[in-house]
């Protein structure tokens, strides 16, 4: 398999990568970032070249503090916020610092594959909660917590992607959020909300975040510039209680290496302060909405009976349930032979067999035409396999 020089990681040249959870190249703000560079008169501030403050770039912290209090009503102070090297860097850091091998964490079924990978790297025990179209099922949560209490195990945290979940596209309803917070208080576990898609909402209002609903008690909230700017910048933010943030900021990695990506952070601070980020996000919403509409129309026109899928109101992903006779591995083999790549459902479950009739499609990366062609090929293969 070859890869084109300009294609992002994992994308085979000439293929239809329906799996790719990347922004499409034409959606990257290459010129705007260039203008931010020019705003430095070609001379980036010296601080951008040096080890940075452990908490993160001060100007970016100022910008985010104002924005998060304004748009999300978080009511946070500077002591509640830090810059992280992407949400991934934040999840890895808090996992390393809050847990040890053998500890238990709660995750959704399905959940974000790469977070599951980080938890497995740390040797954590994963307990999975099946989801429906409002988020994790509360009966499953209550039953799991009862089982754990009987085993005298306290889960360290519950990891959740609250808006337009990767992979399902589902948003956790406000009622579910409140009920989960109640359980977290009763059973003494923390909630880790990995919210990298909430700015990409196509319509309606977002439910308040777990952090806002819990008034900051025992919730860690992660955000990222990867989906609304560019993943290569490796920048995000973490909101939490002041004591917890202070402990993270004082951790060995930051003490030794300084704050997250000072050069990127200084550049992004310049971009954000000029108003360019908000304008870019507003534009992106319309772009992704069109792509979502094309994907949903292609599915409605081409998929055979017996296939169902989610209709996300934002984000990047659609989650497909295959008819019982169709195994996703066989479908994957046949699709790859035709250069169509999707994300196999098995990767998103702590028990992979539960994903054997599911797959994830992404509409963030492909052109409208490729999306229609890719969905058409998949539809025909599913019809063949379903007999
Ligand atoms: C739920 C979720 N969290 C985190 C990430 C990665 O974010 P970052 O690039 O900020 O590490 C992704 C990207 O696909 C994601 O879907």
For 175, the token pair is 């009622």
Per-residue confidence (pLDDT) for residue 8, from 0 to 100: 66
How confident is the prediction for the chain on average, in pLDDT? 95
Residue with CA at minimum distance from ligand 1 atom 12: 196
**pLDDT of 9 over the 80 cut:** no
Per-residue confidence (pLDDT) for residue 365, from 0 to 100: 96
Q: Which of 161, 226, 234, 264 to mutate to test the pocket of ligand 1 (most atoms within 8 A of CB)?
A: 226
Per-residue confidence (pLDDT) for residue 111, from 0 to 100: 98
Per-residue confidence (pLDDT) for residue 6, from 0 to 100: 59
What is the model's pTM?
A: 0.96
Domains of the chain (ranges plus CATH)? 16-30+278-386 (3.90.1150.10), 43-274 (3.40.640.10)
CA distance 210 to 220: 9
Q: Which of 187-196, 251-260, 284-293 has the lowest mean pLDDT?
A: 251-260
Query: Which among 67, 50, 77 is positioned nearest to 265, based on CA atoms?
Result: 50
Ligand 1 centroid distance, CA of 89 (Å): 10
Per-residue confidence (pLDDT) for residue 145, from 0 to 100: 98
* Ligand 1 atom closest to 88 (CA): 11
Ligand 1 centroid distance, CA of 19 (Å): 14
Q: Which of 88, 199, 232 to mutate to test the pocket of ligand 1 (most atoms within 8 A of CB)?
A: 88
CA distance 25 to 28: 6
Ligand 1 centroid distance, CA of 113 (Å): 10
DSSP 27: G
Q: Which of 224, 268, 317, 361 to mutate to test the pocket of ligand 1 (most atoms within 8 A of CB)?
A: 224
* Ligand 1 atom closest to 316 (CA): 16
Per-residue confidence (pLDDT) for residue 47, from 0 to 100: 86
Cα torsion at 124, 127, 131, 136 (round to 10°)? -90
Show Cβ contacts of residue 164 under 8 Å, excluding neighbours closer than 6 positions: 170, 171, 197, 198, 200, 201, 312, 313, 314, 315, 316, 317
Show Cβ contacts of residue 151 under 8 Å, excluding neighbours closer than 6 positions: none
Ligand 1 centroid distance, CA of 22 (Å): 10
Query: Stretch 124-147: mean pLDDT, rounded?
Result: 98
* Ligand 1 atom closest to 112 (CA): 1
**Which residues, judged by CB distance below 6 Å to any ligand atom, belong to the binding site of ligand 1?**
21, 86-88, 112, 161, 166, 194, 196, 224, 226, 231, 236
**pLDDT of 377 over the 70 cut:** yes
Query: Stretch 151-169: mean pLDDT, rounded?
Result: 98
Ligand 1 centroid distance, CA of 181 (Å): 23
Ligand 1 centroid distance, CA of 187 (Å): 28
CA distance 344 to 338: 16
C-alpha distances in Å from residue 321, one per residue of 148, 204, 275, 318, 359: 30, 26, 41, 10, 7
Ligand 1 centroid distance, CA of 104 (Å): 22
Show Cβ contacts of residue 281 under 8 Å, excluding neighbours closer than 6 positions: 199, 200, 228
Query: Which among 220, 171, 239 is positioned nearest to 200, based on CA atoms?
Result: 171
Ligand 1 centroid distance, CA of 256 (Å): 25
pLDDT tier at 61, thresholds 50, 70, 90: very high
CA distance 46 to 386: 62
Show Cβ contacts of residue 155 under 8 Å, excluding neighbours closer than 6 positions: 104, 105, 106, 127, 145, 148, 187, 189
- Tens digits of per-residue pLDDT, 236-266? 999 999 999 999 999 999 988 989 999 999 9
pLDDT tier at 2, thresholds 50, 70, 90: very low
CA distance 131 to 313: 17
């Amino acid at each position: 398999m070859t890869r084109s020089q300009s294609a992002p990681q994992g994308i085979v040249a000439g293929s239809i990568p329906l799996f790719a959870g990347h922004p499409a190249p034409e959606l990257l703000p290459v010129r705007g970032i260039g203008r931010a560079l020019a705003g430095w008169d070609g001379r980036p501030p010296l601080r951008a070249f040096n080890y940075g403050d452990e908490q993160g770039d001060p100007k970016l912290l100022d910008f985010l503090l104002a924005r998060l209090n304004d748009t999300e009503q978080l009511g946070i102070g500077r002591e509640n916020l830090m810059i992280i090297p992407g949400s991934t860097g934040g999840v890895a850091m808090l996992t390393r610092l809050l847990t040890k091998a053998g500890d238990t964490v709660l995750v959704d079924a399905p959940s974000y594959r790469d977070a599951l990978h980080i938890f497995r790297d740390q040797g954590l025990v994963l307990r999975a909660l099946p989801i429906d179209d409002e988020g994790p099922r509360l009966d499953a949560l209550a039953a799991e917590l009862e089982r754990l209490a009987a085993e005298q195990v306290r889960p360290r945290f519950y990891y959740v992607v609250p808006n337009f979940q990767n992979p399902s596209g589902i948003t956790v309803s406000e009622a579910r959020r409140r009920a989960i917070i109640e359980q977290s208080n009763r059973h003494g576990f923390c909630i880790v909300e990995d919210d990298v898609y909430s700015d990409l909402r196509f319509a309606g209002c977002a439910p308040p975040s777990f952090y806002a609903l819990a008034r900051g008690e025992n919730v860690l909230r992660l955000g990222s510039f990867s989906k609304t700017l560019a993943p290569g910048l490796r920048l995000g933010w973490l909101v939490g209680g002041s004591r917890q943030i202070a402990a993270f900021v004082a951790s060995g990695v930051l003490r030794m290496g300084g704050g997250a990506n000072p050069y990127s952070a200084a550049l992004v601070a310049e971009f954000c302060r000029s108003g360019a980020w908000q304008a870019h996000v507003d534009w992106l919403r319309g772009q992704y909405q069109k792509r979502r509409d094309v994907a949903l129309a292609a599915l409605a026109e081409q998929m055979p009976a017996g296939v169902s899928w989610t209709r996300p109101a934002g984000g990047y992903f659609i989650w497909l349930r295959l008819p019982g006779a169709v195994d996703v591995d066989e479908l994957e083999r046949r699709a790859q032979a035709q250069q169509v790549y999707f994300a196999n459902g098995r990767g998103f479950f702590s028990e992979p067999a539960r994903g054997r009739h599911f797959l994830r499609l992404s509409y963030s990366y492909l052109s409208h035409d490729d999306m229609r062609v890719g969905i058409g090929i998949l539809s025909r293969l599913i019809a063949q396999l379903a007999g």
